[in-house]
């Protein structure tokens, strides 16, 4: 996982040796869990599909096939040569959607969107949330009070409802949907970071830095934050699946990705009235979405268990 | 106990105020012109002016907020610009469906999730355990709308004509109706809050048909909610099952369980009286947290299954920039969420007396 490299950045040589050993044991523990391994394999597969989408897809995901191919019909079922589709017709593994586009190509390109969206959204929420939580936890007092009460207010709203309100204000679109889901997730990470910082700042090495005359910000960014990152990395990995899910949900109700973007949630939303006549139009993006979320959740669970052996069972 | 509840209520007041302000602010900065959205692109400036004056949209924002606060304290949440219906009326009409749906989904999640977690923990690493946890992992990852359409397809298309077939949309079959309470009890002259309350309860078809013995309506309305409730309840189910399992595993390894076994207590009693009683705390917290998830999921479920509930109303209101409806419904949702959290906290203090001392 790329996440393993993160906490190393701020640490110094001595700490570096200790940290990388921790992450190496974590990785080996992670690989020993069957479910996490399944998740990792799925993730690698989807990452592969996302990277090589242009080579795999075969058709433009956004352009109708009219004029490109003869004898295409909207909402046609999958045509697979191996399964008896006549050889003189071109192959469409997942059929044709109601705008005469190749569903397989759209699902393949959708991988790129969903993976990007998941990482970027959670990354945004973690950076802002961690900063707020770290400042609140480290400085305490009224700063802590003000920041955390603000976070509490955000938490009073059910996440998806607040996200819908935010997108309504900002306007529809994938970027705004990502921003909304990211904003809604901030309090969760802020709380985790605050708790983590509260325990780290009592450590002897922090007191030692203070005694040596290091500045408050120097201590916060060089000593406290790097050592308080573990819980938030775990929460972040677990959060990616949820973020992918929520953004797909926003796209499904028309607030996220807009046509003709090949996003799985919006693909399902657009074809939802054809669920009985042409279920394949909903089925394939639905499966892809579920498997992606599952992969992130399995890896997140595995990472948590690997980092905190008390929890693993 | 009373002091704890009072203190908890007092803490809720500033949060309540913040919610009201946030909801008000968000609805004010919505882009787009409500006049054009309501009267159409061809509305003349004169018509718009009259419209804006009528709904108080021309006053300064602080004044609008003051008017708003005054109004909601009197239970007046404004009028829908779309339907000209009062928002309170609209809530009375739409909220019951969402409550019924969420409640049924939660019952499903608890009734299946907790036993699944118990079996999983008790027969740790058995086929049943691995199977339930694989199921929980998948259930936790499948989007509400994907599961919803999947269920609709299976039960309405593949199983059509079999006794297992279930309706995939709407609240009642055509031709079936559930008479409202005022009609059954001949109270149609009744007005005021009592009438609203009765109408509100009548909106929940299952309890209404149950207490007025409308069996056909009861069965039909229940059948219509099975698929939506299962779709909506599956993610909470997975979460509850996992928490129950890990919490019970923690508790079953403790000394007092060994003591209970050592003194010869029957295994079932050890599990229920000593194990479950102590393991249920985190489960209660988690169940409380699911309510927010259910309300968000209700929007999706209501869209999938064509149910005229709160979620669908909010969505339509956003489309039409119907300020009053967006404000009113978001407020109700946030208040409901706050109330449920309050109940969960009190319940928690009741189950675990240590909480009160903190």
A228: CATH: 1.10.3720.10
Q: Considering only CB atoms, which chain A residues are within 8 Å of B300?
A: 249, 252-253
Asked if the model's pLDDT at residue B195 lies above 50, the reply is: yes
DSSP B24-55: HHHHHT-SS-HHHHHH-TT--HHHHHHHHHHT
Size of interface A-B (CB pairs under 8 A): 126
Judge whether B9 lies within some domain.
Answer: yes
A98 by Cβ neighbours in 10 Å (0-12 / 13-18 / 19+) ranks as middle
Any chain A CB within 8 A of the CB of B172?
A: no
Q: What is the pLDDT of residues B197-239, one digit of tens each?
A: 888 888 888 888 888 888 888 888 899 999 999 999 999 999 9
Give backbone dihedrals phi and psi of A102, rounded to 5 degrees, phi first.
Answer: -75, 115
Q: What average pLDDT does this structure show over B170-192?
A: 83
Any chain A CB within 8 A of the CB of B121?
A: no
CA A210 to chain centre: 37
Q: Which domain holds residue B57?
A: 2-73
Asked which of A13-27, A174-188, B102-116, B245-259 is least confident by mean pLDDT, the reply is A13-27
Q: What does the alpha-carbon distance between residue A210 and residue A198 come to, in Å, rounded to a whole number?
A: 16
Cβ of B246 within 8 Å of Cβ of A35? The answer is no
Q: Are residues B239 and B311 in the same domain?
A: yes
Q: Are residues B34 and B143 in the same domain?
A: no
pLDDT classification of B55: cutoffs 50, 70, 90:
low
Asked if the model's pLDDT at residue A11 lies above 50, the reply is: no
CA B62 to chain centre: 32
In sequence order, the β-bridge partners of residue B7 are none
Judge whether B238 lies within some domain.
Answer: yes
Q: Considering only CB atoms, which chain A residues are within 8 Å of B334?
A: 156-158, 161
Cβ of A161 within 8 Å of Cβ of B293? The answer is no
Contact between residue A108 and residue A56 where contact means Cβ atoms under 8 Å apart? yes
Cβ of B334 within 8 Å of Cβ of A156? The answer is yes
What sections of chain A are H helices per DSSP? Answer: 13-32, 34-51, 53-57, 103-139, 141-156, 159-170, 174-200, 204-211, 216-219, 225-227, 230-252, 264-270, 280-307
Question: In percent, how much of chain A has pLDDT > 70?
Answer: 92
Mutate to test the interface with A, among B149, B340, B341 (most CBs of A within 10 A): B149
Contact between residue A259 and residue A98 where contact means Cβ atoms under 8 Å apart? no
Asked which of A186-195, A218-227, B240-249 is least confident by mean pLDDT, the reply is A218-227
Judge whether A149 lies within some domain.
Answer: yes
pLDDT score for B356: 57
Judge whether B189 lies within some domain.
Answer: no
Q: What is the pLDDT of residues A15-53, one digit of tens each?
A: 555 566 777 777 788 787 888 899 999 999 999 999 998
User: Mean pLDDT in chain A?
Assistant: 83
Q: Considering only CB atoms, which chain B residues are within 8 Å of A283?
A: 150
Cβ of B143 within 8 Å of Cβ of A158? The answer is no
Cα radius of gyration rounded to whole Å, chain B:
24
pLDDT classification of B26: cutoffs 50, 70, 90:
confident
In sequence order, the β-bridge partners of residue A92 are A79
Asked which of A136-145, A282-291, B173-182, B218-227 is least confident by mean pLDDT, the reply is B173-182
Nearest to A36 by CA among A287, A306, A307, A310: A306
Q: How many distinct structural domains can be found in chain B?
A: 2
Asked if the model's pLDDT at residue A310 lies above 60, the reply is: no
Q: What does the alpha-carbon distance between residue A146 and residue A156 come to, in Å, rounded to a whole number?
A: 16
Q: What does the alpha-carbon distance between residue B20 and residue B31 come to, in Å, rounded to a whole number?
A: 20
Judge whether A120 lies within some domain.
Answer: yes
Q: Are residues B69 and B92 in the same domain?
A: no
Q: Are residues B264 and B345 in the same domain?
A: yes
Structure tokens at A95: 């059929």
pLDDT score for A110: 92
Structure tokens at B282: 């985190």
Q: Under the phi-then-psi rule, with left for phi > 0, alpha for psi from -120 to 50, and beta for the rest, what region is A171? A: left
Q: What does the alpha-carbon distance between residue A173 and residue A259 come to, in Å, rounded to a whole number?
A: 10
Closest partner residue to B145 (CB to CB) among A35, A252, A298 is: A252
Judge whether B228 lies within some domain.
Answer: yes
Q: Considering only CB atoms, which chain A residues are within 8 Å of B326?
A: 165, 168
Judge whether B191 lies within some domain.
Answer: no
Cβ of A286 within 8 Å of Cβ of B149? The answer is yes
Q: What average pLDDT does this structure show over B239-259?
A: 88
Q: Are residues B67 and B156 in the same domain?
A: no
| Sign of the dihedral through C-alpha B124, B125, B131, B132 | positive
B153 by Cβ neighbours in 10 Å (0-12 / 13-18 / 19+) ranks as middle
pLDDT score for B183: 84
Helix%, strand%, coil% for chain B, nearest 5: 75, 0, 25
Q: How many distinct structural domains can be found in chain A?
A: 1
Q: Are residues B232 and B122 in the same domain?
A: yes
Q: Which domain holds residue A180?
A: 30-57+100-311
- DSSP letter at A102 equals B
Q: What does the alpha-carbon distance between residue A160 and residue A163 come to, in Å, rounded to a whole number?
A: 5
Asked if the model's pLDDT at residue B41 lies above 80, the reply is: no
Judge whether A147 lies within some domain.
Answer: yes
Q: What is the CATH number of the domain that holds B150?
A: 1.10.3720.10
Q: What is the pLDDT of residues B117-145, one digit of tens each?
A: 999 888 888 888 888 888 888 988 999 99
The domain boundary residue, chosen from B38, B73, B108: B73
Å between A239 CA and nearest CA of chain B: 12
Q: Considering only CB atoms, which chain B residues are within 8 Å of A169?
A: 26, 29-31
pLDDT classification of B268: cutoffs 50, 70, 90:
confident
Q: Are residues B91 and B61 in the same domain?
A: no
CB proximity under 8 Å: A 209-238 to B: none
Q: Considering only CB atoms, which chain B residues are within 8 Å of A35?
A: 133, 137
Q: Are residues B126 and B155 in the same domain?
A: yes
Asked if the model's pLDDT at residue B323 lies above 80, the reply is: no
Mutate to test the interface with A, among B296, B327, B344 (most CBs of A within 10 A): B296
Q: How far apart are the first and last CA of chain B?
A: 12
pLDDT score for B147: 94
User: Mean pLDDT in chain B?
Assistant: 83
Any chain A CB within 8 A of the CB of B185?
A: no
In sequence order, the β-bridge partners of residue A27 are none
pLDDT score for B45: 79
Q: Are residues B169 and B266 in the same domain?
A: yes
Any chain B CB within 8 A of the CB of A180?
A: no
Q: Are residues B237 and B171 in the same domain?
A: yes
Q: Are residues B153 and B41 in the same domain?
A: no
Q: What average pLDDT does this structure show over A114-133?
A: 94
3-state secondary structure of A117: helix
Q: Are residues B136 and B218 in the same domain?
A: yes
Q: What does the alpha-carbon distance between residue B169 and residue B143 come to, in Å, rounded to a whole number?
A: 18
- Closest chain B residue to A163 measured between Cα atoms? B296
CA distances to B55, B68, B311 from B72, in Å: 15, 6, 21
Total Cβ atoms within 10 A of residue A90: 17
Judge whether A62 lies within some domain.
Answer: no
Nearest to A158 by CA among B99, B26, B296: B296
| Sign of the dihedral through C-alpha A62, A64, A65, A71 | positive
pLDDT classification of B39: cutoffs 50, 70, 90:
low
pLDDT score for B40: 62
CB proximity under 8 Å: B 197-236 to A: none
pLDDT score for B157: 86
Judge whether B208 lies within some domain.
Answer: no
Nearest to A241 by CA among B114, B282, B151, B235: B235
Mutate to test the interface with B, among A34, A148, A161 (most CBs of B within 10 A): A161
Q: What does the alpha-carbon distance between residue B217 and residue B172 come to, in Å, rounded to a whole number?
A: 8
Q: Considering only CB atoms, which chain B residues are within 8 Å of A289?
A: 143, 146
Q: Which residue has the higher pLDDT, B173 or A71?
A: B173
CB proximity under 8 Å: B 276-315 to A: 291-293, 295-297, 299-300, 303-304, 314-315
What SS3 string covers B289-310? HHHHHHHHHHHHHHHHCCCCCH
Q: What average pLDDT does this structure show over A127-145?
A: 91
pLDDT classification of A313: cutoffs 50, 70, 90:
very low
Closest partner residue to A272 (CB to CB) among B149, B333, B334 is: B149
Asked if the model's pLDDT at residue B160 lies above 60, the reply is: yes
Asked if the model's pLDDT at residue B34 lies above 70, the reply is: no
Cβ of A157 within 8 Å of Cβ of B141? The answer is no
Any chain B CB within 8 A of the CB of A311?
A: yes
Q: Considering only CB atoms, which chain A residues are within 8 Å of B153?
A: 275-276, 279
Q: What is the pLDDT of residues A198-218, one digit of tens each?
A: 888 888 888 888 888 888 888
Q: What does the alpha-carbon distance between residue A81 and residue A69 come to, in Å, rounded to a whole number?
A: 17
Beta carbons within 8 Å of A36's beta carbon, 6+ residues apart: A30, A298, A299, A301, A302, A303, A305, A306
pLDDT score for B113: 93
């Amino acid at each position: 996982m790329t996440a393993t490299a993160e906490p190393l950045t701020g640490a110094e040589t001595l700490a570096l040796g200790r940290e990388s050993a921790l992450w190496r044991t974590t990785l080996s523990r992670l690989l020993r869990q069957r479910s996490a391994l399944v998740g990792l394999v799925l993730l690698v597969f989807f990452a592969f599909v996302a990277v090589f989408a242009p080579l795999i897809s075969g058709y433009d995901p956004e352009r109708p096939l009219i004029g490109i191919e003869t004898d295409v019909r909207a909402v046609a079922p999958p045509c697979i040569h191996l399964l008896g589709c006549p050889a003189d017709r071109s192959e469409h593994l997942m059929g044709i959607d109601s705008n005469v586009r190749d569903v397989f190509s759209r699902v393949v390109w959708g991988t790129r969107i969903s993976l990007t969206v998941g990482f970027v959204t959670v990354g945004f929420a973690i950076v802002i949330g961690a900063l707020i939580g770290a400042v609140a936890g480290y400085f305490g007092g009224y700063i802590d009070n003000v920041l955390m009460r603000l976070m509490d207010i955000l938490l009073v709203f059910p996440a998806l409802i607040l996200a819908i309100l935010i997108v309504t204000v900002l306007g529809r679109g994938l970027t705004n949907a990502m921003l909304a889901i990211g904003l809604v997730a901030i309090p969760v990470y802020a709380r985790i970071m605050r708790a983590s910082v509260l325990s780290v700042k009592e450590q002897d090495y922090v007191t030692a830095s203070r005694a040596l005359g290091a500045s408050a910000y120097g201590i916060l960014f060089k000593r406290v934050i790097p050592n308080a990152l573990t819980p938030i990395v775990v929460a972040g990995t677990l959060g990616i699946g949820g973020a992918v899910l929520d953004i797909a949900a926003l796209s499904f109700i028309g607030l996220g990705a807009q046509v003709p973007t090949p996003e799985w949630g919006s693909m399902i939303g657009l074809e939802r009235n054809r669920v009985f006549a042409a279920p394949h139009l909903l089925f394939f993006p639905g499966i892809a979405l579920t498997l992606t979320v599952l992969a992130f959740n399995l890896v997140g669970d595995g990472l948590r268990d690997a980092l905190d052996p008390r929890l693993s069972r | 106990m009373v002091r704890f509840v009072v203190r908890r209520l007092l803490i809720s007041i500033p949060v309540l105020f913040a919610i009201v302000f946030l909801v008000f602010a968000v609805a004010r900065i919505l882009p787009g012109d409500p006049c054009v959205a309501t009267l159409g692109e061809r509305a003349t400036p004169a018509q718009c002016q009259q419209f804006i004056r009528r709904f108080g949209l021309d006053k300064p924002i602080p004044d609008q907020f003051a008017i708003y606060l005054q109004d909601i304290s009197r239970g007046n949440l404004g009028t829908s610009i779309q339907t000209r219906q009062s928002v309170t009326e609209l809530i009375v009409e739409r909220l019951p469906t969402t409550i019924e749906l969420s409640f049924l989904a939660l019952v499903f999640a608890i009734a299946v999730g907790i036993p699944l977690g118990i079996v999983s923990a008790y027969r740790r690493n058995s086929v049943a355990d691995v199977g339930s946890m694989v199921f929980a992992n998948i259930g936790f990852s499948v989007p509400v709308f994907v599961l919803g359409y999947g269920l609709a397809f299976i039960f309405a298309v593949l199983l059509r004509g079999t006794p297992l077939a279930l309706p995939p949309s709407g609240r009642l079959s055509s031709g079936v109706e559930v008479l409202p309470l005022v009609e059954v009890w001949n109270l149609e002259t009744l007005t005021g809050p009592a009438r609203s309350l009765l109408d509100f309860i009548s909106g929940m078809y299952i309890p209404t048909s149950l207490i007025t013995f409308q069996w056909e309506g009861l069965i039909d309305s229940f059948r219509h909610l099975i698929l939506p409730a299962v779709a909506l309840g599956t993610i909470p189910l997975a979460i509850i099952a996992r928490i129950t399992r890990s919490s019970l595993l923690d508790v079953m390894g403790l000394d007092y369980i060994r003591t209970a076994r050592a003194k010869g207590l029957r295994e079932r009693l050890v599990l229920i009286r000593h194990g479950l009683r102590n393991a249920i705390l985190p489960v209660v917290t988690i169940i409380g947290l699911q309510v927010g998830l259910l309300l968000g999921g209700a929007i999706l479920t209501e869209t999938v299954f064509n149910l005229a509930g709160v979620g669908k109303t909010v969505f339509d209101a956003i489309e039409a920039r119907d300020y009053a409806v967006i404000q009113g419904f978001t407020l109700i949702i946030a208040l409901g969420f706050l109330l449920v959290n309050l109940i969960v906290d009190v319940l928690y203090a009741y189950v675990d007396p240590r909480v009160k001392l903190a």
